[in-house]
C-alpha cells in the first residue's frame, strides 16, 4: 500500500565530486527497497550515469545500444525519431523507468541517465527545472521513497533536484577542504527557498563518508580529525544535523557497486547509517 501522503523525495548533493554521493544514493535506495520493503524510485541526474550503471550493470550497455529513452527525454518531453519510429512520438514514462535491476530488485525503479545529458545542452534548450518534480507528481505517487543522485557541480540540475525534493542529504569526506562547498550549498538553498516560498526543503543531515586515504585502520590521521572538527563547526553554523553513524572506508563499497556482496567487510556497516537515516525521516511502510 503506498503512503497516503506520497513519496518522500531526497536528493544526495555535494558540490564536490568523489565524496560518495552515488555510492550512498544507490545503497540507500537498495536498503529501502530490499531491507525495508519500500517502493523506491532512484533518479540519475548525473551525466556520468554511475548510478544507472551500478543498478543496471550489463543492462546499461543494452540501454545505450537500444537508444532507450532516459532522463534526457523527460526534459525534451518527447521521444525522438529512432531506427524504429520515423517521427517524434509521445513520451510514455513507463518506457523510461527500468524495473527489476540486478542491484535494485523488484521494488526499485530507476530513471537512467545518459552521457549526452550535459548541462550546457539542457541550458541551451532552456530546460524547465520543474519537469522532474512534475513527472514525480504525476507518475510516482505510489512510491514510498524517491532518491535523486546529483552531479557534483551547481547547475540547472541542482535546481531540478531541489524542485523535486523535500530533503537534501550531504555526504562529505573528512579531508582537507571537505567543507569548501558548504557555503555554496547553503546559499543556493536559501536562494531557492526565497524564490519558491511554498516549497519546504531541508538538509536532512551530513553523513561523514570515510573514504579518505588519510584513514588507516580504526583510527584516522590528524588531518581527518581536523577535518571532522571543521565539518562539525560549519554544520552547526548552518544548523545542519550530522548523522551519528559514519560510513567507514572499505573496499567493499566499490565491490557492492559492481554487484558483489560477498566479503564486503566494513562496508556492511552501511546499514547502521541507513537505519539511522530512515528512522530519522520516520519513513515506515504504512499498513505494516
Ligand X SMILES: Nc1ncnc2c1ncn2[C@@H]1O[C@H](COP(=O)(O)OP(=O)(O)O)[C@@H](O)[C@H]1O
| Nearest-approach distance from CB 18 to ligand X, in angstroms | 4
Q: In the complex with ligand X, which residue's Cβ is closer, 232 or 254? A: 254
Cβ 100 to ligand X shortest distance, Å: 23
In DSSP notation, 151-173 reads -SS-SHHHHHHHHH-SEEEEEE-
| Least gap, CB of 286 to ligand X (angstroms) | 31
20 lies in the site for ligand X, by CB under 6 A: yes
Minimum distance, C-beta of residue 191 to ligand X, in the bound complex (Å): 23
The radius of gyration of the chain from alpha carbons, rounded to an integer in Å, stands at 19
Is the distance from CB of 199 to CB of 129 less than 8 angstroms?
A: no
Integer CA distances (angstroms), 195 to 8, 159, 204, in order: 22, 11, 21
Q: Mapping DSSP to helix (H, G, I), strand (E, B) and coil, where does residue 19 land?
A: coil
Residues 6+ apart with CB under 8 A from 258: 54, 57
| 18 touches ligand X by CB under 6 A | yes
Contact status, residue 122 vs residue 151, Cβ threshold 8 Å:
no
Report the partner that residue 69 touches, choosing among ligand X, Mg ion, none (CB closer than 5 to 8 A by kind). Answer: none
Q: Which of 11, 22, 52, 158 binds ligand X (CB under 6 A)?
A: 22
Max Cα-Cα span within the chain = 62
Q: Which does 101 bind (CB under 5 to 8 A by kind): Mg ion, ligand X, none?
A: none
Lookup: cell for 61: 550497455
Residue 23: name its binding partner from ligand X, Mg ion, none (Cβ under 5 to 8 Å by kind).
ligand X
Residues 49-68 that bind Mg ion (CB under 5 A): 50
Q: Which is nearer to ligand X, 11 or 250 (CB)?
A: 250
Contacting residue, 10, 19, 45, 274, with ligand X by CB under 6 A: 19
Binding window for Mg ion (CB under 5 A); candidates: 1-9, 15-23, 207-215, 273-281: 15-23
CA–CA distances in Å: residue 37 to residues 1, 23, 108, 274: 11, 20, 10, 13
Which is closer to Mg ion, CB of 171 or CB of 220?
171
Q: How far is it, in rounded angstroms, from Cα 72 to Cα 125?
A: 12
Place of cell 513507463: 94
Among 11, 23, 165, 234, binds ligand X (CB under 6 A): 23
Rounded Cα distance between 141 and 144, Å, is: 8
Q: How far is the CB of 54 from Mg ion (least distance, A)?
A: 10
Q: CB nearer to ligand X: give 69 or 252.
A: 252
Q: Which is nearer to ligand X, 93 or 118 (CB)?
A: 118
Residue 146 site contact among Mg ion, ligand X, none (CB < 5 to 8 Å, cut-off depends on kind):
none
> How far apart are the C-alpha atoms of 106 and 30, rounded to whole Å?
10
- Positions touching ligand X (CB under 6 A) are 17-23, 50, 152, 209-211, 247, 249-250, 253-254, 257
Amino acid at each position: 500500500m503506498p503512503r497516503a501522503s506520497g513519496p518522500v523525495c531526497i536528493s544526495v548533493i555535494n558540490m564536490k565530486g568523489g565524496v560518495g554521493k552515488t555510492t550512498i544514493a544507490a545503497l540507500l535506495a537498495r536498503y529501502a527497497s530490499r531491507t525495508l520493503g519500500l517502493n523506491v524510485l532512484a533518479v540519475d541526474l548525473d551525466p556520468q550515469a554511475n548510478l544507472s550503471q551500478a543498478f543496471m550493470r550489463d543492462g546499461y550497455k543494452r540501454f545505450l545500444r537500444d537508444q532507450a529513452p532516459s532522463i534526457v527525454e523527460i526534459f525534451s518531453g518527447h521521444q525522438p525519431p529512432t531506427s524504429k519510429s520515423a517521427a517524434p512520438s509521445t513520451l510514455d514514462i513507463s518506457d523510461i523507468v527500468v524495473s527489476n535491476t540486478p542491484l535494485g530488485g523488484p521494488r526499485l525503479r530507476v530513471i537512467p541517465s545518459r552521457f549526452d545529458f550535459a548541462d550546457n545542452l539542457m541550458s541551451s534548450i532552456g530546460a524547465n527545472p520543474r519537469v522532474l518534480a512534475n513527472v514525480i507528481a504525476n507518475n510516482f505517487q505510489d512510491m514510498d521513497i524517491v532518491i535523486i543522485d546529483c552531479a557534483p557541480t551547481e547547475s540547472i540540475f541542482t535546481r531540478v533536484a531541489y524542485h523535486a525534493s523535500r530533503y537534501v542529504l550531504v555526504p562529505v569526506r573528512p579531508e582537507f577542504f571537505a567543507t569548501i562547498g558548504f557555503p555554496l550549498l547553503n546559499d543556493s538553498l536559501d536562494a531557492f527557498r526565497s524564490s519558491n516560498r511554498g516549497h519546504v526543503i531541508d538538509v536532512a543531515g551530513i553523513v561523514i563518508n570515510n573514504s579518505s586515504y588519510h584513514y588507516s585502520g580504526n583510527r584516522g590521521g590528524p588531518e581527518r580529525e581536523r577535518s571532522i572538527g571543521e565539518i562539525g563547526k560549519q554544520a552547526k553554523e548552518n544548523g545542519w544535523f550530522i548523522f551519528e553513524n559514519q560510513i567507514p572506508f572499505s573496499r567493499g563499497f566499490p565491490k557492492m557497486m559492481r554487484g558483489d556482496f560477498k566479503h564486503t567487510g566494513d562496508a556492511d556497516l552501511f546499514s547502521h547509517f541507513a537505519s539511522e537515516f530512515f528512522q530519522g525521516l520516520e519513513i515506515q511502510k504504512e499498513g505494516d
